[in-house]
Every structure is written in C-alpha cells, then in structure tokens.
Amino acid sequence: MNFKIETVEKINVIKGQYATAQGCILPALYVLEEHEGQVTPEREKALAHLLDVPTYQVAEALSFYTMYNRHGRGKHHFQLCRNISCYLRGSDEVIALFQKRLGILPGEVSADGKYELELAECLGNCDHAPAGILGKEDINDLNCDKLNALLDKLGAPHGV
Ligand code: FES
C-alpha cells in the first residue's frame, strides 16, 4: 500500500523529532488519519513498515487509544471514559443513558449514521470526571443532565 506523498513527508518529519520509532506511532497515526482517512488494517501495516516497527506495536496503540478512526465514524463521535476516576464519579450512569437514548452499544453507530459511541480507558481528564470527547472537543464533568442537554442540542432521539 502506498501513502500519499504528503503523508509520507509529514511522517518523516515526525520521525526526525523523536528519539525512537515507537515514540512516533501516536503522532504518525494522527497524520495518517488526517491525510488518508480511516486507519484500515492495510494502512496499519503500511505505517508499521514506514516507521520500521513491528506491526503489533501499531496494533497495540490502536487497541488502547480510542481516538483513531478504525472503522468509519458516525457524524457525532462520542468517547466516554469508563476508567476508575470516571467510574467513581458516575460514568456508568452517563454511559447507560447514552445507550438508552441512542439505542446503540459501545463500538456501534446509530442506524442513521449520526451517533457513535466508544468507551475509553482514561482520556487524561480525570480531574473532570466523568470525562468524554465529542469529535475533537473535551466534554468534562459529565452527568446525566449535562449529557441529555448535549444530546438535545444535537437533535438526538429520546430513546429508540
Ligand atoms: S479515568 Fe476517566 S479521564 Fe481518566
């Protein structure tokens, strides 16, 4: 698989900024997503080749970090954190509310293609737990009222 010249050039710049090839994986994935689109298995392997790292190291990064687009996206991509800080502050209720309103499970996109839910393992916003990300924007200090208001603003159904 060949990447666009622009993609290769940007990844090569990143390679020059990090001491190890492994350190380049996350920023290179952002470049890949921005210029090539979805991070398909073929692109995952090609990136490993370009960075000269084992494919499993790219796969590990992709399996841990949920912000990369691996399977196409709903128009409104929600990542909701379920890890300990967020859980202790009620993330399970927020996640359950999201699922009830949209009728989808984690990893799914609503039938109309508008909403996608992914569960995350710490988004680095533990001091604003429960935390989430909508698209590229942080959504902090979530609770059911705040999520309902956000979903109302987006025009989400009240249960399907
Ligand atoms: S545990 Fe949820 S943001 Fe860290």
Dihedral angle, C-alpha 60, 62, 66, 69, nearest 10 °: -170
Residue percentage of the chain with pLDDT more than 70: 99
Dihedral angle, C-alpha 48, 40, 11, 135, nearest 10 °: -130
Ligand 1 contacts CB of residue 142 (under 6 A): no
pLDDT of residue 72: 73
Q: Are 50 and 128 in contact (CB under 8 A)?
A: no
The burial of 105, by beta-carbon neighbours within 10 Å (0-12 exposed, 13-18 middle, 19 or more buried), is given as exposed
Mean per-residue pLDDT for 119-136?
Answer: 94
Q: Out of 65, 85, 95, 118, give the residue to mutate to test ligand 1, the one with the largest number of ligand atoms within 8 Å of its CB.
A: 85
Place of tokens 């987006």: 154
**How far is 85 from 7, CA to CA, in rounded Å?**
37
Convert the pLDDT of each residue in 90-122 to its tens digit: 999 999 999 999 999 998 889 898 999 999 999
> Ligand 1 atom closest to Cα of 86?
2
Q: Are 127 and 86 in contact (CB under 8 A)?
A: no
The predicted model scores a pTM of 0.73
pLDDT of residue 90: 97
pLDDT of residue 79: 93
The 10 Å Cβ neighbour count of residue 101 is 19
For residue 32, give both structure tokens. 């890949």
- Mean pLDDT (the chain) is 93
pLDDT of residue 114: 93
Place of tokens 């399977």: 71
**How far is 133 from 50, CA to CA, in rounded Å?**
30
Convert the pLDDT of each residue in 34-70 to its tens digit: 899 889 999 999 999 999 999 999 999 998 887 788 8
Angle at 114 between CA 96 and CA 110, to 5 degrees: 50
Ligand 1 contacts CB of residue 14 (under 6 A): no
Residues forming a β-bridge with 115: 76
